[in-house]
Chains A and B, each alone.
Chain A
């Protein structure tokens, strides 16, 4: 392909690649600046003042909102649940998603069809996904309970969404169902970028799929996988619609994760000063949880290149 490209007349002024490169990042930086920095400053202002939507920034209250947030056991509890849910769902979705991607890579028949079919959960609007799973999980007239009882695995219907532990696991299940396809799609795309010669040669010599995967595929895929995991982790922290519809945070506080709790404080109760402080605290937690992975990601990328 390169030889078909025309040469430029020598001597004409051409800004160095670096300058143009810098210029092409401008829209991204400006866009995010407006979208993120301005709200961030506003958020800071809200968090340190007595504020509601009608009269923001009434008076400086220092760290009072932060103290209130940290003194609220429900908020602190929600942070823990957010961390737990985000990590569990990322881990599960990664294992499942990568396995599916590997399976897809092996597929011969109907590969394209299967690959798009697997995307369906990701396409499902979250509100609908929650409602459909609610129907599947209902103790009375829900399909899953009937199925498990037919198999004699249970003798009484299980109240999946009405029992704290199973409600949390149900949210996890639906989140994994919805987001594993994302992992599968991205890891499949990453698989396609692996140099196929090495791969084929290894396959011929070793012949055990697991050995090839463990010693060839995985190390080469590793940086990309951490990248996908980081994004899934952050998206997991932002989970909202699902909890809103599936459990409304219940039973008790069992599925009240921070994004949902902040919504309640900010949008339903309009205490946006407190909600702002909670948002900042939550962002710090998400940041702390993510940083080790981004560092690992950078290192892995450097090692590879």
Chain B
């Protein structure tokens, strides 16, 4: 048993203090915090009483998941006696860092957190260990059928083999500022046309006060502008690639999606090309924008009185639809899993960690922890999540169920960069939507070539 220092206690108290201020967090939370994981007999059994005392496990997480380090480390240390060290990496560097670690033979790390879009490359390059057989052998405790919809395959499966287990089921939903909407007598949009109209009305009325109808994040970084495009692509019923993996960027849906982005830009906070995560979040939290497409974390931040002026004044709806499409198909924007490093000196230990991080019990714990920013990956987690975040609960449940993935073949990073460049040129006014999509399609075909 590890000794708890005063500093830890202080930290925990501060954490609880912070939580207690948040009105929308109910029952489950205190239970989750107070009851140590060890009190859950099922969880202990899951770990098969593995003893790794004297060993050291090192894992890599993306910076946005820094809040997960503490719970992950503590839980694994308690379960197995291993010493745990974590290293945070900026989100755009995970693939390079993980690959270099294994390829150079440095093998510092036992476990990597990865974006599913990098899965093809990481598997091809031998960075992640193939854990298909371990999953099969441990099927009862992994319980893969409990993962939501297509998420399990999208996040972990490539060429019939599995390389990790899901940790954070990311998807975008549409947040809006109810106060601004009421003031302008508008309703939450259900189509991308309505979205543009609503945005135009608000901007028209309140521009003088520096309030705009919407925030469109179109900074030229794949996960930023790519997500905004994907949200519309799903709305118009499109896809990045067809069933055979051929690019479909010149489909009517794809062009309509790009066009919708372009058409909405004049009514958005100036200017979409400059809008990334960093500057858009304070704008929405400061009550200076009517709508933003974002991960569900926004709901947590919006309820924090210390950083938000919109506490209790926001709401959330599913992504709008467009064209002839009437069924909302959300995009899997980002989405993270843990995988065991192919270079780990202790594959058993690495596997236990991956398994624990994705387990039902642990997932339920981090899901209701404000600091982790983790969204549901499992069916069993949905009721817990709905209680934790009643406003987002339903929307997120629907969104994650049947989200469609970005490409995840080995060339995906290159493809998304090419698409990003074209969308950027379009937003800068150098190309029409049709030209941009045509050029992106050509680039994708060339890359697949």
Contacts and interface: CB of A to CB of B under 8 A. Distances in A.
In-complex A–B contact (CB below 8 Å) = yes
Interface of A: 53-54, 74, 131, 134-135, 138-141, 157, 159-164, 247-254, 264, 267-271
B365 to A, nearest CB: 33
Contacts of A135: 279
B424 interface: yes
Interface of B: 92, 95-96, 99-100, 103, 121, 125-126, 210, 212, 219-221, 269-274, 278-279, 282-283, 286, 288, 413-414, 417, 421, 424-425, 427-428, 430
B219 A53 contact: no
A161 B413 contact: no
| A-B complex: 7 closest residue pairs judged by Cβ atoms | A162-B271, A250-B220, A251-B428, A139-B270, A162-B273, A159-B271, A252-B428
B96 A248 contact: no
Contacts, number: 87
A196 B428 CA distance: 55
A275 B425 CA distance: 23
Contact of A269 (B219, B269, B283, B417): B417
Nearest to B289: A140
Given A141-B210, A250-B219, A268-B417, 20 more contacts: A54-B125, A134-B274, A134-B278, A139-B269, A139-B271, A140-B270, A140-B288, A141-B288, A159-B271, A159-B274, A161-B273, A162-B271, A163-B271, A249-B220, A251-B427, A252-B424, A264-B417, A268-B413, A270-B95, A270-B99
A159 B272 CA distance: 10
A250 B273 CA distance: 8
Contacts of B424: 250-252
A159 B279 CA distance: 14
A65 to B, nearest CB: 16
A264 B93 CA distance: 11
A219 B424 CA distance: 48
Nearest to A160: B274
A115 B56 CA distance: 50
21 contacts: A53-B125, A54-B99, A54-B103, A54-B126, A134-B278, A139-B271, A140-B210, A140-B270, A141-B210, A159-B270, A163-B428, A248-B220, A249-B220, A250-B220, A251-B428, A252-B424, A254-B428, A267-B96, A269-B414, A270-B95, A270-B121
Nearest to A52: B125
Contacts of A140: 210, 212, 269-270, 283, 288
B386 to A, nearest CB: 35
Nearest to A142: B279
B220 A131 contact: no
A157 B208 CA distance: 11
A272 B273 CA distance: 29
Contacts of A163: 271, 428
Contacts of A252: 421, 424-425, 428, 430
Contacts of B92: 268
Contacts of B271: 139, 159, 162-163
Nearest to A156: B270
Contacts of B272: 162
